[in-house]
Amino acid sequence: MERLSMSGISKRFGGIHALSDVSFSAQGGEVHALMGENGAGKSTLMKVLSGAYDHEGGEIRIDGNRASIHSPHEGMKLGVSIIYQEFSLASHMTVAENILMHELGEKFSINYRELNRRAARLLDEMGFSDIDPRSTVSDLTVAYQQVVEICKALSHECKILVLDEPTAVLTNHETEKLFRLVRKLRDQGVCVIYISHRLDEIFDLCNRVTILKDGSTVGTWDTNTLDHDSLTNLMIGRELTDFFPERNAKIGAVALEVQSLRSGSMVSDVSFSVRRGEVLGIGGLVGAGRTEALRAIFGADKRDGGTVTLHGQEVHNRTAGEGVRNRIGLLPEDRKHQGVLLDLPIRDNALMTPVNPFISVTGWINQASERDKVQELWKELRLKAASQDANVSTLSGGNQQKVALMKWLVAHCDVLLLDEPTRGVDVGAKVEIYRVINQLAEQGAAIVMVSSEMIELIGMCDRVMVMRGGRMAGTLEGDAIREENIIELAMGQDNVH
Ligand SMILES: Nc1ncnc2c1ncn2[C@@H]1O[C@H](COP(=O)(O)OP(=O)(O)OP(=O)(O)O)[C@@H](O)[C@H]1O
Ligand SMILES: [Mg+2]
């Protein structure tokens, strides 16, 4: 018997049919992938299952029994646990409080020592004993926050575990730990539903895959009957020929030079330079200081030492505004908090560039050109949304990421710092983003790209700098840009597990 069977599920948001008559079923003891392009309806379907969204029509059965799930509490009581694509932690509370939050409300007095002890045990079982249950969530890296989310979901009886892009914020090492845990749960008979845009993970982890397209079910397949190409084709309806499109950029003079950069506790000594037309990758583990280095260069974080030189002139960006005036752009890692303004329309977000090319010297804004430009990028990036006037908060995760990127494509920056530019983006749109990055490099921009996806570093970068513990561990060039070399530098000799 199926552990979960959903049939005839529909969900509308205003005029948008997010789901129309969707059927989906999965068994206990399997990892079942749910795939599809950005905006296909994956998260919405799982929010219906968890009770976060109500649905119109259809039914949900768990172990054959009709389940009435109209609130997250009802979902939880029936054994549905979900890790949302967007974090749902209370960031001002401690790790232990978050993990065991569902118990806190029921008690008159809380034994904190016991609470911390139990949280520590759960973290330990997951292989993350280095997270202190007493630390405040907002002090953790995004990857560790994700680990806490998963722990929270596993802290109560769970029959169906939904993971909505759990590895988007994890690097290989943490991903392996997570997979070990998922396999363990699968072997214990849990039904795991796994959403990801990383095809390798699907083949690595999942028994079956169900594909959604435009809010409808395309079908379900055994993973071992598919390969990369056929899976891609089923999702986006075409083959992707050149996954990493060719770039014909002329590599010119040094645009950005960073020397002995120090910032906070995460960046202790970083030096590198990047030339016009060049794409420099930065690899490393979570916590290596990559994000923090970019932020300090840009001016979003304080710099404690070292120099930043632009076109031969030393600059000191003390604020993000100064970075922008010096024609540096930063696509932040944390899209939801720093990358987009959720309550504003897509168009305003896309045009929120410090140097709006559509404002003439007289201050007159050419709104028609603005619309055209946004429309052009919309098509290039395969954005899925109701209109340019739709608020960003109504977009799917991957489409929000595309909007965050848009404004840096409108602004003409000399140096573009991209922190995980294709995180959460579907495989078709990834290629479009690579294409746009190539165009920018061809126009003479210097590009620095932090990525946790090996294949992206290998496929896109002229050089790859690997960071470890706030320092540069080494730089790879040409044929030396290989997975094993990146891993070796990222983990260090003393640290290889
Ligand atoms: N709260 C909302 N209000 C309005 N529209 C919404 C809302 N949530 C989702 N949608 C719309 O429903 C559709 C499906 O979105 P959903 O988030 O389920 O996509 P997804 O498959 O999870 O995509 P991604 O891979 O980008 O996360 C999208 O067109 C989205 O814009
Ligand atoms: Mg989603």
- Cα(82)–Cα(193) distance, rounded to whole angstroms? 9
CA 206/CA 182 separation, integer angstroms: 10
Token pair of 290 as six digits? 């990559």
Q: Are strands 16-26 and 267-275 parallel, antiparallel or unpaired?
A: unpaired
Q: Is the CB of 16 under 6 A from ligand 1?
A: yes
Compute the distance between CA of residue 433 and CA of residue 38 in angstroms, rounded to an integer. Answer: 14
**Model pLDDT, residue 75:** 92
- Report pLDDT for 163: 93
**Selection from 286, 297, 299 nearest residue 259 by Cα:** 297
Q: How many angstroms separate the alpha carbon of residue 327 from the centre of ligand 1?
A: 33
Is 39 touching ligand 1 by the criterion CB < 6 Å? Answer: yes
40: Cβ below 6 Å to ligand 1?
yes
Q: How far is the CA of 226 from the centre of ligand 1 (A)?
A: 26
Calpha distance 97→117 (Å, rounded): 11
Ligand showing the shortest atom-to-Cα distance for residue 393: 1
User: What's the pLDDT tens digit per position in 418-460?
Assistant: 999 998 888 888 888 898 899 999 999 999 999 988 889 999 9
Instruction: Look at residue 497 in the predicted model and tell me its pLDDT.
Output: 42
Biggest alpha carbon–alpha carbon distance for the chain: 70
What are the strands, taking DSSP E only, across 196-253?
Answer: 208-213, 216-222
CA of 446 to the centre of ligand 2 (A): 31
Q: Measuring from atom 4 of ligand 1, which residue has the nearest CA?
A: 394
Answer yes or no: are the C-beta atoms of 210 and 27 closer than 8 Å.
no
| CB of 293 closer than 8 Å to CB of 260 | no
Query: Quick one: CATH architecture of 254-495?
Result: 3-Layer(aba) Sandwich (3.40)
Q: What contacts 227, CB < 8 A, 6 or more positions away?
A: none
DSSP 336: I
Please list, in sequence order, all residues whose beta carbon lies within 8 angstroms of the beta carbon of residue 347, skipping any fewer than 6 positions away. 370, 371, 374, 388, 389
Q: Is the CB of 36 under 6 A from ligand 1?
A: yes
Q: Which ligand is nearest to the CA of 399?
A: 1
Residue 42: nearest ligand to its CA?
A: 1
Give me the helix-helix angle, 427-442 and 367-380, nearest 10°.
Answer: 120
For residue 48, which ligand has an atom nearest its CA? 1
Our answer on whether the CB atom of 44 is closer than 6 Å to any ligand 1 atom is: yes
Note the ligand closest to the C-alpha atom of 397.
1
Q: Which residues of the chain have pLDDT under 70?
A: 86-87, 105-108, 241, 335-337, 353-366, 493-497
For the chain, how many residues are written? 497
Inter-residue contact 213 to 40 (CB < 8 Å): yes
Q: Does the C-beta of 196 come closer than 6 Å to ligand 1?
A: no
Beta bridge pairs of residue 12:
17
- The CATH number of 4-236 is which of 3.30.1240.10, 3.90.1570.10, 3.40.50.300, 3.30.428.10? 3.40.50.300
CB proximity list for 5: less than 8 A, separation 6 or greater: 24, 25, 60, 61
Number of helical H runs and strand E runs in the chain = 17, 20
The pTM of this model reads 0.84
Q: Quick check: helix, strand or coil at residue 23?
A: strand
Pick the residue whose CA is nearest to atom 7 on ligand 1: 394
- 193: β partners: 32, 162
Q: Tell me, what's the pLDDT at 361?
A: 57
C-alpha 13 – ligand 1 centre gap (Å): 9
Nearest alpha carbon, ligand 1 atom 3: 394
pLDDT tens, position by position, 59-76: 999 999 999 998 888 998
- Residue 374 burial by Cβ neighbours in a 10 Å radius (0-12, 13-18, 19+): buried
Spatial distance between the Cα atoms of 102 and 55, rounded to a whole number of angstroms: 25
* CATH 3.40.50.300 domain extents, the chain: 4-236, 254-495
Provide the CB-side half-sphere exposure for 184 (13 A, CA): 10
Please report the pLDDT score of residue 107 as a whole number.
63
Whether the CB-CB separation of 11 and 49 falls below 8 Å is answered with no
Q: Which atom of ligand 1 is nearest to the CA of 197?
A: 25
Cα 122 to Cα 120: distance, rounded to the nearest angstrom: 6
Check if 47 has its Cβ closer than 6 Å to any atom of ligand 1: no
User: 224 in helix, strand or coil?
Assistant: helix
Q: How much is the pLDDT for 358? A: 57
Q: Which atom of ligand 1 is nearest to the CA of 44?
A: 18
Residues in contact with 407: Cβ distance below 8 Å, sequence separation at least 6, in sequence order: 349, 350, 351, 352, 353
Q: Of the residues 9, 12, 13, which should be mutated to test ligand 1's pocket, given the most ligand atoms within 8 Å of the CB?
A: 13
Instruction: Give the pLDDT of residue 101.
Output: 80
